[in-house]
Structure 1
Amino acid sequence: MKTIFWTAALTLVSGGALAQCPDYLNYDAKRLHSSEKVNLCELTQGKPVLIVNTASNCGFTPQFKQLEAINRLYADKGLVVIGFPSDDFFQEEDDEKDTAKVCYLNYGVSFTMLSPSAVRGSDANPVFRYLAEKSASPKWNFYKYVVSGDGEQVMQFNSRVTPDSEELTKAIESVL
């Protein structure tokens, strides 16, 4: 009888936790240049998220350094940074290992980077389909989206808004 009670209690607790996950994050994605999958709900756990579509061969690629600084500054306060490499603007490496080299070796990225995927149009991944519905699709690489933990508040910033700008900093701090 006790086993049935605890099983039911655990089911209710875990079900409640899953219910708090915004639909747009309710999927598994492959980490960059890895066979490992990451569940975006587990990664974020209701935390605010900074989402960026990236490219390895763009004039804005040096923003990786500032994104890493943002990650280090705000990770302990709950912010999760996720990079989505994409070749939608024809500036991503053809081979994932080369994208990984740019991110990890050239720029020292430690935040979550996912395998390349589409970020606009009918092929966009579920996260960017949601962001397009809530704000707009990226018009270039390094568009940044600050999303509240419940997924309801989405603030979009174009490529020219640097990760260390006052505008983006205020947006991040408003959702922490």
Structure 2
Amino acid sequence: MTTIYDFSETEMSGRTIDFEAYRGKVVLIVNTASKCGLAPQLEGIEALYKRYHEQGLEVLGLPSNQFHQELDSDEATSDFCQMHYGVTFPMTKQVRVNGEAEDPLFTYLKATAGHGRIKWNFTKFLIGRDGQLIDRFAPITKPEALEAPIVQALEAK
């Protein structure tokens, strides 16, 4: 049976992120886009990361240009996210979240959540310490609304 720990992604720096390193952690996975009107959510997501990282929260941003709202290069995306929103959590190279050449992580997350296609940027997936999906959150769900589920997941042992 596939679990979240079976996946890996490539960080913008080229470093491999092996999800096995997330075992025992709470993980928030977000598909991002720099030019999206929801991009200011990065500030709130970063705030959650800073507030709860020491307690076991990991955040992973996966930029996607499938909705034609991402910058032209991974370097430009990284610079934009750091400069405008102070992002310090890992960001991967661009991925596809739907259809042909879809990133396998999103195939798994969508199947597990049972909600079908990613409809827009900033769809969020919260994974518990046990590696199981807790919930999928809509793009318009503000990061502040994720705080209670994150705290609950962090408190589960």
TM-score for the superposition, normalised by structure 1: 0.79
1 or 2 for the larger relative contact order (CA 8 Å, sep ≥6)?
A: 2
Which of 20, 25, 50 is the aligned partner of 2:5?
25
**Which structure is higher in helix share?**
1
Partner residue of 2:118? 138
Alignment of 1:24-173 (within 5 A): 24-32=4-12, 34-42=13-21, 44-135=22-113, 136=115, 137-165=117-145, 168-173=146-151
Identity %: 35
Deviation at 1:28, TM superposition (A): 3.1
Deviation at 1:150, TM superposition (A): 2.2
Number of aligned residue pairs: 151
Q: Which runs of 5+ in 1 are unaligned?
A: 1-21
Query: Which stretches of structure 1, 4 residues or more, deviate above 4 A after TM superposition?
Result: none
TM-score for the superposition, normalised by structure 2: 0.88
Taking the aligned partners of 2:106 and 2:134, their CA distance within structure 1 comes to 12
User: CA RMSD for the aligned pairs?
Assistant: 1.5
Deviation at 1:81, TM superposition (A): 0.6
Of structures 1 and 2, the larger Rg is shown by: 1
Deviation at 1:122, TM superposition (A): 4.1
> 2:41 corresponds to which letter in structure 1?
Q
Taking the aligned partners of 2:14 and 2:26, their CA distance within structure 1 comes to 26
Deviation at 1:96, TM superposition (A): 1.4
Q: Which runs of 5+ in 2 are unaligned?
A: none
Query: Contact 1:24/1:126 (CA < 8 Å) preserved in 2?
Result: no
